Amino acid sequence: MRFRQKGWKILFVPDARISHEQGACSQSRRVYVEWHKHKGMLRFHRKFFRRQYPGVLMRLVVAGIWLSFGLATVDLTARRVCAKFGAGRG
């Protein structure tokens, strides 16, 4: 965001290769990871858009972020329960 604010260009390099181990460190703490991911979204919006948007709109953004966290948590919990009890098996 700061690059964009300063008018700098962001380059895309399609040949770049990155290896990521599918969140190996966070496999057992998925809700914790979601919590911090959504807190980061809040921090980003407050930092860069608080002065641009009226209070009502910012409250809607905050509500949307927390709704997203709630839905992600329900999804993760349901997946864990289904995996534990073998739901969906033949």
Domain hosting 65: range is: 29-90
Given pLDDT bands bounded at 50, 70 and 90, which one contains residue 75? Answer: very high
Q: Look up tokens 């349901």; give the residue.
A: 78
Tell me whether residue 14 is in a domain: no
Q: Supply the pTM of this predicted model.
A: 0.65
What are the start-end ranges of the H helices in 2-54? 2-5, 30-49
Decide if pLDDT at 49 tops 60. yes
Tell me whether residue 1 is in a domain: no
Residue in 24, 71, 25, 64 with CA at minimum distance from that of residue 41: 64
Tell me whether residue 11 is in a domain: no
pLDDT at position 6: 93
Q: Structural domain tally of the chain?
A: 1
Tell me whether residue 21 is in a domain: no
Tell me whether residue 18 is in a domain: no
Rounded to an integer, the average pLDDT of 45-68 is 91
